Amino acid sequence: MLEIKDLHKRFGDTLALDGVSLSAAPGEVVGFVGANGAGKTTTMRIAMGVLAADSGQIVYDGAPLGVEQRRRFGYMPSERGLYPKMKTGEQVAYFGELHGMSKTEARRSAGELLEQLNLTDRAGDFVQDLSLGNQQRVQLAVSLVHDPEVLILDEPFSGLDPIAVDVMGAALRDRAAAGAPVIFSSHQLDLIERLCDSVSIIGNGKIIAAGGVEELKAKEVKQLRVSVETDEDLTGRLPGTVTRDGDDYLVEDSPDDQEVLRIAAAAGRITRFAYDQPTIAEIFREAVTR
């Protein structure tokens, strides 16, 4: 379990982090979202020891995170760091060796990752000759090559085409399925919704909403959507605040949902009776403007 606890960080007059906490359990994929400048990169840098916090703690499996354990983490920094004049396959293996793998192990792992990320054909190409999206795949391979226990990835999906997004997403879910806690930041909220078990939303250096994706959506449920085949107008008859959305009735603040069901069923055949759940994008917009 990786726990980021109550981080504070100031850069001159800017209070970048004002008590940020988030955690990821083994096998959990956590999406970290927030507007530009909200504090995501700063939080991840502190978690990886690239930057020191003014106060707060990074706890791993119940104890303060040490340098040796951090070497077993996989990190994709926001400033990508590849050697442009090195060949793709060699580069990935080289990073494996930097993490203490033998040459043979590092090559084997690099080969497997290039295969998984559809880069095998490019193994002999110089990194500088790859497209930006493919360079990003290499960057992910570099952060995964030593089979990390934990993954912390800063915007791993930015600039990728939809196929690359699927490849990258599958690679992250695989690592989580193998038991790694995974935290990644993204502005692509549809992706967060699709890939993550939980979400932490940061605004101005504070966590403003956090929880399981399904839990957050269920908590924010606002309205009941009822579709009923009838010529009658039920607007004034259903209890609650009722509006129309096409042929559907949207019922908010109803004192009695069972009564809504009874009246609708008496009027005609019900083809839909469900609570509208917001998307993560809607929850995000609401949280940041609150």
Ligand X SMILES: Nc1ncnc2c1ncn2[C@@H]1O[C@H](COP(=O)(O)OP(=O)(O)OP(=O)(O)O)[C@@H](O)[C@H]1O
CA 189 to chain centre: 8
Beta carbon nearer to ligand X, 95 or 184: 184
Return the C-alpha torsion angle 160, 25, 196, 173, nearest 10: 50
Minimum distance, C-beta of residue 92 to ligand X, in the bound complex (Å): 25
Question: What is the contact mask toward ligand X in residues 149 to 178, using x (rule: CB under 6 A)?
Answer: ------------------------------
Choose the stretch contacting ligand X; rule: CB under 6 A; options: 32-40, 101-109, 110-118, 164-172.
32-40
Q: Where are the beta strands (DSSP E) in 197-278?
A: 198-203, 206-212, 223-229, 241-245, 248-252, 269-276
Beta carbon nearer to ligand X, 181 or 205: 205
Question: What is the contact mask toward ligand X in residues 34 to 63, using x (rule: CB under 6 A)?
Answer: x-xxxxxxx---------------------
Beta carbon nearer to ligand X, 41 or 200: 41
Alpha-helix residue ranges (DSSP H) falling in the chain: 40-47, 67-71, 88-98, 103-116, 132-144, 162-177, 189-195, 213-219, 257-267, 280-289
Beta carbon nearer to ligand X, 188 or 230: 188
**CA–CA dist 58, 27 (Å, integer):** 18
Count residues contacting ligand X (CB under 6 A)? Answer: 11
End-to-end CA distance of the chain: 31
CA angle 154, 158, 163 (to 5 degrees): 120
Q: Is 16 in the site for ligand X (CB under 6 A)?
A: yes
Q: Is 31 in the site for ligand X (CB under 6 A)?
A: no
Q: Is 11 in the site for ligand X (CB under 6 A)?
A: yes
Beta carbon nearer to ligand X, 4 or 117: 4
Minimum distance, C-beta of residue 6 to ligand X, in the bound complex (Å): 16
Minimum distance, C-beta of residue 16 to ligand X, in the bound complex (Å): 3
Cβ atoms 141, 92 nearer than 8 A: yes
Cβ atoms 107, 123 nearer than 8 A: no
Task: Tally helices (H) and strands (E) across the chain.
Answer: 10, 14
Minimum distance, C-beta of residue 132 to ligand X, in the bound complex (Å): 17
Q: Which residues bind ligand X (CB under 6 A)?
A: 11, 14, 16, 34, 36-42
